[in-house]
Amino acid sequence: MTAALGTTTSTKNGFDLGPAVELVSKEEGHRQPLAPEFVSAEDFSPLEVAYDFGRVRREDIEAGPRNIWRYKKLLPVPSNVEQIPNTEPGCTRLVRADRLAKALGLKNLWVKDDTGNPTHSFKDRVVAVALAAAREFGFEVLACPSTGNLANAVAAAAARAGWDSVVLIPSSLERAKVLTTAVYDGSLIAVDGNYDDVNRLATQLAAERENWAFVNVNVRPYYSEGSKTLAYEVAEQLGWRIPEQLVVPIASGSQLTKVDKGLRELGELGLVEASPYRIFGAQASGCSPVSAAFRSGHDVVQPVKPDTIARSLAIGNPADGPYVLDVVNRTGGAIEDVSDEEVVEGIRLLARTEGIFTETAGGVTVATAKKLIEAGKLDPEAETVLLITGDGLKTLDAIEGKVGPRATVPPNADAVRAVLED
Amino acid sequence: MTAALGTTTSTKNGFDLGPAVELVSKEEGHRQPLAPEFVSAEDFSPLEVAYDFGRVRREDIEAGPRNIWRYKKLLPVPSNVEQIPNTEPGCTRLVRADRLAKALGLKNLWVKDDTGNPTHSFKDRVVAVALAAAREFGFEVLACPSTGNLANAVAAAAARAGWDSVVLIPSSLERAKVLTTAVYDGSLIAVDGNYDDVNRLATQLAAERENWAFVNVNVRPYYSEGSKTLAYEVAEQLGWRIPEQLVVPIASGSQLTKVDKGLRELGELGLVEASPYRIFGAQASGCSPVSAAFRSGHDVVQPVKPDTIARSLAIGNPADGPYVLDVVNRTGGAIEDVSDEEVVEGIRLLARTEGIFTETAGGVTVATAKKLIEAGKLDPEAETVLLITGDGLKTLDAIEGKVGPRATVPPNADAVRAVLED
């Protein structure tokens, strides 16, 4: 790890992180060499990766592997990243959703189904990028605080790479999420406290363990870039074209801002025509600080105490909240929030129209799209993409008691016939 | 449905099922026109699809969609199949598994990870083909008896296509499997009986409901062809090459025989060099009728009463058992079975070495591979592919109590440090 702590005159600091050249603070644009740091010492704002892309051609991407490493020339990862053991997420389905479109009153709808990733959520994308960058920085342990999807993705990626992992979870976490993390055999530690306690512990440990990469703490600037691949894939799958409207769930807000960043990069690089697009944000009403700020026209996001079944979105103090507001306002989008009842109806609507079973976060996205259409904010004529970022198998509690067999019958054909003719 | 019941002089019977030309009985080779039938009236053996492939080129396949429809010229599906609403399974990852290889003592190992399919098992492949053929035959309802993966796949595919589904399950089925089927909003009917009762009901209903396609009953010859796509993908992903050894789980035995059929077709069509390969079968000891027959050198498979945690393989009277023995003997493979304890160890071994969390059936495959290597039956020097056909999230019970947090600690860094330094 010592290499990462030295100072050099080169902005690239001796690391091969592909096109990444330095870190820039989001508020005042202070520049600093690439390093495992996440907050600017100058203005205390988050650090973001800046690039010198050079020339990137569609053909290079199309000739690449069928996973996110096809976009390696647009990511902060080593030039030979696809040769190093890691997970290979991405290239998930973009599904033409005519039946859902009809139910929602849209003309032209697509669903980006990220449940096909290795651990069935978009977190595999960000973790794979974090792991690739962390290795280059000399880290040896992959770590995170998490309540679910991230825990799965970190434990799985570390296992695949042959690294140790340290995953901190609240001890109250549902048994299913514990099992699906523990099976990868890293160091899973349950903490008697809530997610805030776990998160605080992670920040403390990140400061003292110099060979631990906490994916969403000390290597967060690299990690978060992984979400750009959602935008790249949507554009490539549409035939190198940007959709007019995207609906994106908001937790920390990072994903939404990175989807925007990815779309802008594609236009700037001439990989697509830089056509206008609008980005819409989706929250659960039980944790809707960004939606509340948008509604009241504020540019400051007031923290809340989450209370929603959409736990993977339940971040009461979203780090990228203000930047989400910037993106949504700049692109002419909107933000809306939906009740837990609407979330469940969103899950069920997507399942019964398109055969895609999403977790609560996807229910938030579908239900928010519905609300935005009804409010006249989403244009029903415009081509629209919904980002479905996680899997229903991980949040079965949400539909427990809501769906079930139509009937339970004795084992004879008459009984089945009677049910079907009801 | 009337079209399917007419008799015509054309062997194709007026249906567009692509390269499929007729049905052939497996025992005596009696030929009959394409129709939704599954048993030969001549010799009572299963019917199988026969083709006239014409010329199929790698370029045509490579230019196709990134799902099983890229192989439409090798499947009994309409020529325009990719334009008709259906699921788009396939093109799942083929993972280079160096860490698992090392643990097993192999030189050159790949894992075909079929958990990336829409409902996270290979059943999406066979159901998509069944749906495409069923539509061509004029059916309007997709149906099945099932205890899990098939139920999910049928309910999801029907939802996506806008069809009704009728899924029959034993009422004792785990709540998680019930929920993940019911969410798609078809007609899910729980039957107070075991799987044999449910299966019998399905056969009875298939005979009287002329617009119901029971995927694994009356359209079984088409359905089962979907498993060939596993072989096609493995070969294409290896750069149009056949691996020397494949390890395949055995339930009805259909998948193993279709993987063999797919590999042979590729060689016959000149899409790959027709190099020799050996196919190995994997069963759980608690339901190992085919393994038992292989061990004793019989060509008849004696039915058993299943008792294993590998429920998706728990078919006590496997329809294709004798044909599995033929394939394994012809290719020079072997069949082995493993205890439930070994199944769990197989799940955990794959998870901790490659970050892939499989269901019990995958645990059977991994554990059987281990046993075959130790017995000197799998050649450690030969390139080997393991088929991992389902997802660990669906069989969490198997690891319940076996894996968990390393410790539960109070929310302070000292407590975490103490655990990690243990």
Which 180-219 residues of chain B touch chain A by CB within 8 A? 180, 182-185, 187-193, 197-198, 200-201, 204-205, 208
CB within 8 Å of B342: residues ≥ 6 apart: B363, B367, B370, B371
Q: What is the mean pLDDT of residues B239-261?
A: 97
Give me the domains of chain B, ranges plus CATH numbers.
93-120+227-398 (3.40.50.1100), 123-221 (3.40.50.1100)
B419:A169 CB<8 A: no
The residue among B122, B178, B89 whose CA lies nearest residue B359 is B122
Over 50: is that where the pLDDT of A355 sits? yes
* pLDDT tens sequence across B55-79: 999 999 999 999 999 999 999 999 9
CB B85 within 8 A of CB B160: yes
A421 touches chain B (CB under 8 A): no
Q: What is the mean pLDDT of residues B19-31?
A: 96
For an interface test with A, the pick among B92, B154, B352 (most A C-beta atoms closer than 10 Å) comes out as B352
B175:A400 CB<8 A: yes
pLDDT at A1: 33
The C-alpha atoms of residue A225 and residue A127 are separated, in whole angstroms, by 10
Under the banding of pLDDT at 50, 70 and 90, the label for residue B147 is confident
Helix or strand (DSSP H, E) at B177 = helix B175-182
* pLDDT tens sequence across B300-357: 999 999 999 999 999 999 999 999 999 999 999 999 999 999 999 999 999 999 999 9
Which 380-399 residues of chain A touch chain B by CB within 8 A? 391-394, 396, 399
Q: What is the mean pLDDT of residues A273-290?
A: 97
B113 touches chain A (CB under 8 A): yes
Under the banding of pLDDT at 50, 70 and 90, the label for residue B11 is very low
Helix or strand (DSSP H, E) at B266 = helix B254-268
Of A156, A176, A178, the CB nearest to B404: A178
CB within 8 Å of A73: residues ≥ 6 apart: A18, A19, A53, A54, A56, A60, A61
Using an 8 Å CB-CB cutoff, list chain B residues near A149: none
| Top-confidence residue, B114 or A417 | B114
How close, in Å, is residue B103 to chain A by CA atoms?
12
B155:A98 CB<8 A: no
How many A-B residue pairs are in contact by the CB < 8 A criterion? 240
pLDDT at A231: 98
Of A159, A187, A197, the CB nearest to B353: A159
B238 touches chain A (CB under 8 A): no
Using an 8 Å CB-CB cutoff, list chain B residues near A412: 201
Report the mean per-residue pLDDT for chain A.
Answer: 94
How close, in Å, is residue B117 to chain A by CA atoms?
6
Q: What is the mean pLDDT of residues A50-63?
A: 96
The C-alpha atoms of residue B279 and residue B365 are separated, in whole angstroms, by 12
pLDDT at A2: 34
Least confident of A4-13, B33-42, B70-79, B240-249: A4-13
Least confident of A340-344, B330-334, B376-380, B412-416: B412-416
Q: What pairs with residue B168 in β-bridges?
A: B145, B189
How close, in Å, is residue A335 to chain B by CA atoms?
27
How many residues are present in chain A? Answer: 422
B99:A85 CB<8 A: yes
> How many Cα atoms occupy the beta-carbon half-sphere of B205 within 13 Å?
29
Q: Is A239 left (phi over 0), alpha (psi -120 to 50) or beta?
A: left
A12 touches chain B (CB under 8 A): no
A188:B406 CB<8 A: yes
3-state secondary structure A329-360: HHHCCCEEEECHHHHHHHHHHHHHHHCCCECH
Helix or strand (DSSP H, E) at B50 = strand B47-51
Report the mean per-residue pLDDT for chain B.
Answer: 94
| B420 → chain A, closest CA residue | A187
* pLDDT tens sequence across A116-125: 999 999 999 9
Q: What is the DSSP string of A152-187?
A: HHHHHHHHHHT-EEEEEEETTS-HHHHHHHHTT-SE
pLDDT at A176: 85
Under the banding of pLDDT at 50, 70 and 90, the label for residue B4 is very low
pLDDT at B13: 64
B376: its two tokens: 């000197």
| B166 → chain A, closest CA residue | A420
> How many Cα atoms occupy the beta-carbon half-sphere of A112 within 13 Å?
30
Of B187, B201, B357, the CB nearest to A406: B187
Measured in degrees and rounded to the nearest 5, phi and psi for residue B44 equal 65, 15
ipTM for the assembly? 0.94
Tell me whether residue B55 is exposed, middle or buried, using C-beta atoms within 10 angstroms of its C-beta: 0 to 12, 13 to 18, 19 or more.
exposed
How close, in Å, is residue A242 to chain B by CA atoms?
20
The residue among A250, A252, A188 whose CA lies nearest residue A223 is A252
Q: From the DSSP assignment, how many helices (H) and strands (E) are in chain A?
A: 15, 14
pLDDT at A421: 83
pLDDT at A195: 80
SS3 content of chain B, % helix, strand, coil (to 5): 40, 15, 40
Using an 8 Å CB-CB cutoff, list chain A residues near B127: none
Under the banding of pLDDT at 50, 70 and 90, the label for residue B281 is very high
B119 touches chain A (CB under 8 A): yes
* pLDDT tens sequence across B166-208: 999 999 888 888 999 999 999 999 999 888 789 889 999 998 8
* pLDDT tens sequence across A197-245: 898 999 999 988 989 999 999 999 999 999 999 999 999 999 999 999 9
Over 80: is that where the pLDDT of A330 sits? yes
Percent of chain B with pLDDT over 70: 97
A117 touches chain B (CB under 8 A): yes
How close, in Å, is residue A118 to chain B by CA atoms?
7
